[in-house]
Each structure stands twice: as structure tokens, then as C-alpha cells.
Amino acid sequence: MRLIRITGIALAGLLAAQDQPLLDANKALAHYAGMIEWMNTAAGAIPGLARAGSPQLENSRQALDTLRRTGNPNHTPTHYAFLASARGFLAIADSLPKPHPFHEDSRRAVSSLRDAVDRAETHLRALLDVRERATANPDRDNLKRYEEANTLVGMAQPGNPRVVFLGDSITDGWRLNEYFPGKDLINRGIGGQITGQMLGRMMADVIRAKPAAMVVLAGTNDISRGIPATAVQDNLAMIAELATANKIKVILASILPVHDYNKDKDPSLERSTRRPPETIRQINTWIKAYCQQKGFVYLDYHTPMADSAGFLRQELAEDGLHPNADGYKVMAPLASAAIQKVTFVPVLEPPAKKKRLLPFGGK
């Protein structure tokens, strides 16, 4: 029977994984798929369960689909949602009267589902433990990254305003000295960071350098990790308030758009599933309004870098997220104009004017 085949395979995987609390991502998804099979079998075997347990079964399906589709198979809130729905379904199944005689295959499906729910809970607890250990990292904000470099920062020179660029990998990968030669611009970007980590670096990486201004480009990693927009806004506000309290002019940049144009070459380049354009626009709208309210400068990278579909222009980033040289060429004059608004000094020299060739004998 099909039920026995599926149950046997899933049980074998379950028994093999019992010694390891944390399942491999693919094994976890296969385990959840087996649980849904058992839920379907139980729904067909217990009168009334198909109707009463339908919402829980559908929620489980949606949670599994989310884990498969978003490219983030270890997203703990979605694992919790799946487990809660499966436990709810099992509770309904236990509460309903069973037919007599209750077929052995149906009994085995319910028993297997109960074991699988317990195994899924063990997996979720292991995921939470991993997350907690990562959070408990003694250098959670990666303060060591620029620890030595910060000791080498001297005094700013008159006429050459110092500006700190605080951000994630988009800032980290920007060779500021090539785009703004001779200018006192300090790159303090760290790949993968979220706004909360940048807030933790404000004293060490920004305030102690005594810059005239700072440019903050942050939030895309928060969105990718499912951090609420309100938390991103709070962190950006705290960063700005700390800068203001230390007489540092604030420039808050919009989050860059993303694109999916190369996903056919590599499925991992489908960026919009984890960084929805609507969420990016929502946070950017708040950043712009906050800057207007507080008198800060809003640096709009999004508008000139987005195409008619609202995606990042394809030619500005091969991977759909990180700007290439052409992308940074678009960003550089925008950043220069924003810095000039608060320091009154341009940091990007205008292109040299070409000399007009005069006719022979002209002067």
C-alpha cells in the first residue's frame, strides 16, 4: 500500500536522525513533507477530521511551501508556525472518536505523526539553540573588524571634511578612495550586518573618529532576515540620534532595490523573495519622512537605480543585490551631493572640461 511505503521511508529517516537534534535543512523539509502525508491519511481515516483539521493542515502546507520557496529553510518563526499547526491537527485527531475497527494503517499514521511532531519540536529547539549561541557571540557586532584601523585615524584636516560611511556589504565593497580620491572618507561597512549591529558599532567605528558627517546605508539584511520594519526604523533613529548628540551631521540613504533578472542562471539570485520590493519601499518612505521631520539629509539611491518595474537596473548588479562598478558610479555623485549639503564641500571633483579645438591659426 502507498501509505505503508511513505510511512516506512519517513520512519526510517526519523529513526536515522534521532541521534542528531538539528536536522539538515533538506532532511527537515522532507520530514515535514512526510508529516503532511500522515495528516492527509489520518484526515481520510477519522470521520470529521478532514473538515475540523482543514485549517491546521492548510497552514502546515503553507508553512512548508514558505520554507521551500524563500531560500531561508532555517527561518525559525516559520518552523514554529508549521509545528504549531501540526500539533493542533494532532490534538483534533486525538479528540475525535475513531471508527471501530480502526484500521492498522490508520492507527500507524496517527502514531507516526505523533512521533514526527515530537521530532520536529526537537529540531526547532536545536535551531533556537543555534540562533541563541550566535546571538551570544562575545563580538556580536564584529567590533574587532576595524579595531586596529580605528587606532590609526588621526585628526581631520581643515577644508577636507571627514565622513564615515556606515553600512553592510554594499558599503564594505565600495572602494571609496577610488571614487573620491584625496578625500577623508572612512569606510566602516561590514558584510552581512543588520541595523542593530551597526548601532552597536556607533561609538567605536563612528563617534570616536569625530567626523563632520556620516552616511548610513542599512536595512536590506534586516528585511532578508525577517526583522520587523519597526525595529529597523528604531535602530536607524537611534543611530541618527547618537550622531546628532555628538555633533555629527546625519545622512540616511534609501535601501537599494534588488532584481531577479539572473535567477534562470542561478536560482539563488532570486532576490525579491527575501527582500520584497514593497517592504523596501515601505522602509524608504519612512526614512525620507523621518529625515524631513528631523532635518537630516535623505540620500535617495533607490529612485535613480530602479527600472520601470521597480527592480534594480540589471546592468548595475550582476547578482541582483550588490552594485558593480557601474552601480557605484551612479551612487558616487548622489553621495557627494548629499555630503555637500551638510559640509558645504564637494567630495567628488567635477569632470574636467574638454578643451575646444580652435581652427588653425586661432588663439
Domain boundary among 135, 152, 182: 135
State the pairing for strand pair 213-217/185-189: unpaired
Task: Give a yes or no: residue 48 inside a domain.
Answer: yes
Q: Decide: 361 and 192 in contact? Cβ < 8 Å.
A: no
Q: In whole angstroms, give the CA distance from residue 253 to residue 287.
A: 8
Nearest to 91 by CA among 141, 56, 45, 129: 56
Task: Return the DSSP state at 210.
Answer: -
Tell me how many domains the chain contains.
2
Per-block average pLDDT, block size 10, for the chain (363 residues)? 40 45 88 94 94 95 90 84 94 93 88 93 88 77 95 94 97 95 97 97 98 98 95 98 98 98 92 96 98 98 97 97 97 97 86 53 46
Does residue 243 sit in the same domain as residue 281?
yes
**DSSP one-letter string for 18-58:** TT-SSPPHHHHHHHHHHHHHHHHHHHHHSTTHHHHTHHHHH
Per residue in 301-328, pLDDT (tens digit) is 999 999 999 999 999 999 999 999 999 9
**DSSP one-letter string for 51-89:** HHTHHHHHHHHHHHHHHHHSS-TT-HHHHHHHHHHHHHH
- φ and ψ of 213, to 5 deg: -155, 165
Task: Give a yes or no: residue 349 inside a domain.
Answer: no
**Degrees (nearest 5) of the Cα angle 95, 120, 113?**
40
Nearest to 296 by CA among 344, 235, 339: 339
Does residue 198 sit in the same domain as residue 266?
yes
Domain range for 164: 143-343
